[in-house]
Amino acid sequence: MKVDVLPIGLYQENSYVLHDHDHVLFIDPGRYAIQIAACVSEKETVDGVILTHGHEDHTQAADDLAEMFGCDVYMSLDDFVLVDPKNPLRYGYDAPVYSPIKDLRGEMTVGTFPLTVISTPGHTAGSVCVRFRSLLFTGDTLFAGDIGRTDLYSGSEEEMIETLKLFKDLPHDLRVLPGHGPASTIGRELKVNPYLVALG
């Protein structure tokens, strides 16, 4: 298993390329599809594009990558309003995704990747964290030492508080791979992240 991290785009969003046994997932491809695609070798098969939520800095390369590799796009349909081509730029930080979108939730397998999708509303109504083995892709829900903002469309401070409580029950050695900034672990965040520490 290997993960390429590409901090790209206006907001330096972390676009991830997850490799395992010659299969690949793209996670939150924000922009620059060609740069992201260059991480895939000729012998690898791309199984899908995973979006942790619907903001444009996490989605803008999804269509290009889906077309280049002939793969599906997955996102919680609770955030579909943010990428629906009928709603261009209506809600702020949104941009259309024209590829068909498959719902992302619960225990599911995308290609060869068994995933656990955790609903984590707060930053947006459809925000999710995606676990693969020892990795947790947290989008804009949880950062190293911080959390995502809740003042944008469909964000909710109350829902974010309930979401943060979920992290207390996760394995402490689970590696946190956030949408922006450096990686961390659940154990570290429970000790130093002021928003998690405040939960007691």
Q: Model confidence over 134-183: pLDDT tens digits?
A: 999 999 999 999 999 999 999 999 999 999 999 999 999 999 999 999 99
Mean pLDDT (whole number) for 121-136? 98
- CA 116, 160, 56: angle at the middle one, nearest 5? 70
The per-residue pLDDT for 63 is 98
Mean pLDDT over each residue of the chain, to the nearest integer: 96
The per-residue pLDDT for 10 is 72
Mean pLDDT (whole number) for 180-198? 98
Q: What is the pLDDT of residues 105-124, one digit of tens each?
A: 999 999 999 999 999 999 99
What is this structure's pTM? 0.97
Rounded-to-integer distance, Cα 156 and Cα 5, Å: 28
Full set of structural domains in the chain with CATH: 2-197 (3.60.15.10)
pLDDT higher than threshold 90 for residue 67? yes
Q: How long, in residues, is the chain?
A: 200
How many percent of the chain have pLDDT more than 90?
A: 92
pLDDT higher than threshold 90 for residue 95? no
CB-based burial, 162-183: b 16+ in 10 Å, e otherwise? ebbeebeebeeebbbbbbbeeb
Which of left, alpha, beta for 41 (phi over 0: left; psi -120 to 50: alpha)? beta
Pick the closest to residue 140 from 191, 192, 181 (CA basis): 181
